[in-house]
Amino acid sequence: MTAYTIHKKHYSRILLLKIDNEIQSVVFSMYSNNNARNEHFNGEILITDLNGVFLNGYRITNGNVISQFMKGNFKSPSSLNKSFSNNCEIHSDDDSNCILNIQSLNEIVIPPKSGGITYLTLADLYGDHGGGSSSTCEVNCNSWNYGGAGDYSPVETDPCDEIKSQTTNPDYKAKIEILKGKTGLKMETGFSEKADGTFSELQNGSGGTNSNSMSFTIDSNTVGYMHTHVDPYESGRYNSDGEPELLAPIKMFSPADVGRFLELLVNAQTNNISIAEVYGTMISSSGTYNLRFDGNITDVRTDFNWKELKSSYVKAIEDYGLEKGFLKFIKENVGVNGISLYKIKTNGAIENKTLDLNSKLTTIPCQ
Amino acid sequence: MSIIKNNKMKKIIIIGFIIITNLSCNAQQIIPIEKIIDYRRTETGLPEGLIYLKDVNNLLDKYVGIWKGTYDTKKYEFRITKFTETRERVKEDILLIRYIITEANGTEIENTTMLPDNNYLVVRGDYIDRSSYLLTYIGKKGNCGQSGTIFISTSIKSNYNQMLLSLEPEQMLISAKDCPNGGAAQIIPKSQITLTKQ
């Protein structure tokens, strides 16, 4: 069964086996070296107990077990992000998801066998209870095939689960907290995120004169963005009666924000990134919202002329309010099914905002 | 005879009742345009039902006409008209602005005066905040940040013959791919421009 761990990039499952009338359980996590959905898995496998204590680990190349990790001195949590040279050569030493950075391990190369080792024995998974061992058992023994990289990226994932996992990720949380402190500025602030969990700050005011825009670069690894929509602010100019001009930005995803989200989806599809991981986040003093996609990826288009839709958007928000106005705009002017809006409340609760058949705003709390 | 009369009366009363009910169901609620900002602040939109956001107090009329001015060697001409926009369940009195911007040597930078009412380059009114009227502006490079809110205001002090106009550029997430040079330059001045009624 699927397991959710603090390591967002891992594909984790709980494996259950009845041995001598006792249910044995382990958490089996796979962390791919790349996002490609190949027939064969490339990456690391971590086997822990339900508390995350290391039991066993392997490096897999083209589906074959090439080395085994043995427990060394366990790292304290505060040193998780420390660089350990020669530890995580593939995912880099500062990748907090890399199994070699999570636990201090020694790597032992397993001699190649004809045909390769494409399975793990029950002894590998459950220790001595499983019967057989990786060194002696080659045929007709109790073993389990972990599958290819195609199994690595679950396609049908509940966005609620993805957002829950995201909002408990310490790196994401830290960035959200930074942005929550910046909604009182006169300019938007934001970050983009790559599939490996690293963030880059978006540059504001780049390019032409008098532009308030932030430039968002999507490369083959980009999975999401988060940015602020700021509070009402004074422009610094005064009207004919000497009153300050007051700007009141709309505290909801704009058409351009939706455009960038759709571009991320197409980019993910092109680069074999899990669609379930793609997100857009908007942080304002009225609420934090998340865009997710749970439709058919082949329905996604990016050829909208957003500037021509801007006026309809502004009036939809004026007539129906932030949430309903946004959803009606998406339904009537964008028409891509599956663009889903989630609100993340200050207490951490997550709500899906949707329109029912009568276009009534409906709130569905995530379980 | 009296039974027939009674039945007739009943029918008339029922039909009358149906007509009144229908009228009240379809009744349009009129909200003065200066109240739009209050609903905007609630973030939950306008009340249910049919709404007419009406310029009950003729607050927009003083802007209607042709306004000219110069800023940074460029010449600006703004043509302002009053228009009633019809949406799904809302009608709204707004101002539309079309404009001509020319270089000092007469070269035209932009001219939207011939465009139809629903063209995206025609600036559309939003709401009144104190003595300012705010409108949504989108330029041809609107996908790269050439867009924002235009503020206009005019006062009794100038006998409504002078108008201040400025642009607050939109804060947006632009695509680095579509806008390789970053945000596009604005053609409407961010600094306030003083215009004179023609």
pLDDT tens track for A282-337: 999 999 999 999 999 999 999 999 999 999 999 999 999 999 999 999 999 998 99
- Domain residue extents for chain B: 2-197
Residues of A in contact with B93 (CB under 8 A): none
Residues of A in contact with B185 (CB under 8 A): 208-211
Mean per-residue pLDDT, A197-221: 81
Q: What is the distance between the alpha carbons of residues A74 and B42, in angstroms, rounded to a whole number?
A: 53
- Test A321 with B168 for CB contact under 8 angstroms: no
pLDDT greater at residue A31 or residue B31: B31
Tokens of B137: 């502006």
Higher-scoring residue by pLDDT: A279, A107 = A279
CA R_g for chain B: 23
- CB nearest B151 (choices: A239, A241, A305): A239
**SS3 (DSSP) at B46:** coil
CB contact under 8 A, A212 and B145: yes
pLDDT of A82 = 36
Give exposure, A17-33, as e/b (b: 16+ Cβ within 10 Å).
Answer: beeeeeebebbbbbbbb
pLDDT confidence bin for A52, thresholds 50/70/90? confident
Question: For residue A197, what are its two tokens?
Answer: 């969990």
* pLDDT confidence of residue A47: 80
Within chain B, which residues score under 50 in pLDDT? 1
Q: Do B46 and A318 touch (CB under 8 A)?
A: yes
Rounded percentage of chain A residues whose pLDDT exceeds 90: 51
Nearest-angstrom CA–CA distance, A240 and A91: 60
Q: pLDDT at position B58, please?
A: 97
For testing the chain A interface, which of B172, B175, B193, B197 should be mutated: the one with the most A CBs within 10 Å? Answer: B172
State how far the alpha carbon of A159 is from the alpha carbons of A47, A98, A164, in Å.
26, 24, 8
> What predicted TM-score, i.e. pTM, was given to this entire model?
0.70
- The predicted structure's pLDDT at residue A176: 94
B194: left (phi over 0), alpha (psi -120 to 50) or beta: beta
Instruction: Grade residue A125 by pLDDT with cuts at 50, 70 and 90.
Output: low
Question: If DSSP codes are grouped into helix, strand and coil, which group holds residue B23?
Answer: helix
Containing H/E element for A171? helix A170-180
Shortest Cα distance, chain B CAs vs residue A349, angstroms: 21
Per-residue pLDDT at A144 exceeds 70: no
pLDDT digits (tens, 9 = 90+) for A158-177: 899 999 999 999 999 999 99
* Higher pLDDT among residues A269 and B3, named by residue: A269
Of B42, B149, B169, Cβ closest to residue A210? B169
Mean of pLDDT over chain A: 79
d(CA A268, CA A291): 15
What ipTM describes this predicted complex?
0.87
pLDDT at position A203? 81
> Which region among A123-127, A224-228, A248-252, A276-280 has the lowest average model confidence (pLDDT)?
A123-127
Q: Are the C-beta atoms of A259 and A310 separated by less than 8 Å?
A: no
Which of A187, A239, A251 faces B164 most closely, judged by CB atoms?
A: A239
Tell me how close the Cα of A323 comes to any Cα of chain B, in angstroms. Answer: 8
List, in sequence order, every beta strand (DSSP E) within A113-196: 120-121, 143-144, 190-194
The Cα–Cα gap between A35 and A78 comes to 28
Question: What would the DSSP string read from start to end of A115-132?
Answer: T----EEHHHHHGGGG-S
| pLDDT above 90 for A90 | no
Q: Closest by alpha carbon to B39, among B90, B81, B75, B87?
A: B90
- pLDDT for residue A248: 94
CB contact under 8 A, B169 and A240: no
Kindly state the helix (H) or strand (E) to which residue A310 belongs, with its residue range: helix A306-320
**Side chain identity at A334, as an amino acid letter?**
V
Q: Are B179 and B88 in contact (CB under 8 A)?
A: no
Q: Which residues from A are below 8 Å from B172, CB to CB?
A: 212-214, 254, 256-257
- Residue A155: pLDDT above 50? no
Distance between CA atoms of residues A35 and A356, nearest Å: 36
